[in-house]
Amino acid sequence: MAVGRLRGYLSGVRFQGVFFAMAAKVEIYTSPFCGYCARAKRLLSSKGVSFAEYDVLADPSLRPTMEARANGGTTVPQIFIDGKHVGGCDELHALDAAGRLDPLLA
CA separation for the pair 102, 95 (Å, rounded): 9
Tell me if 69 contacts ligand GSH by CB under 6 A: no
Q: Which stretch binds ligand GSH (CB under 6 A): 4-12, 19-27, 49-57, 70-78?
A: 70-78
Alpha carbon distance 60, 67 (integer Å):
12
Please count the CA atoms within 13 angstroms of the CA of 22 that sit on its side-chain side: 5
Q: Confirm or reject binding of residue 89 to ligand GSH (CB under 6 A).
A: yes
73 touches ligand GSH (CB under 6 A): no
Can you point out the beta strands (E) in the chain?
A: 2-10, 13-21, 26-30, 52-55, 78-81, 84-87
For ligand GSH, which residue of 34, 56, 66, 86 counts as binding (CB under 6 A)? Answer: 34
41 binds ligand GSH (CB under 6 A): no
Near ligand GSH by CB under 6 A: residue from 45, 50, 65, 74: 74
What one-letter code names the amino acid at 88? G
**Which residue among 4, 8, 17, 35 contacts ligand GSH (CB under 6 A)?**
35
- Asked if 29 contacts 51 with a C-beta cutoff of 8 angstroms, the reply is no
Which residues contribute to the site for ligand GSH (CB under 6 A)?
Answer: 34-36, 74-77, 88-90
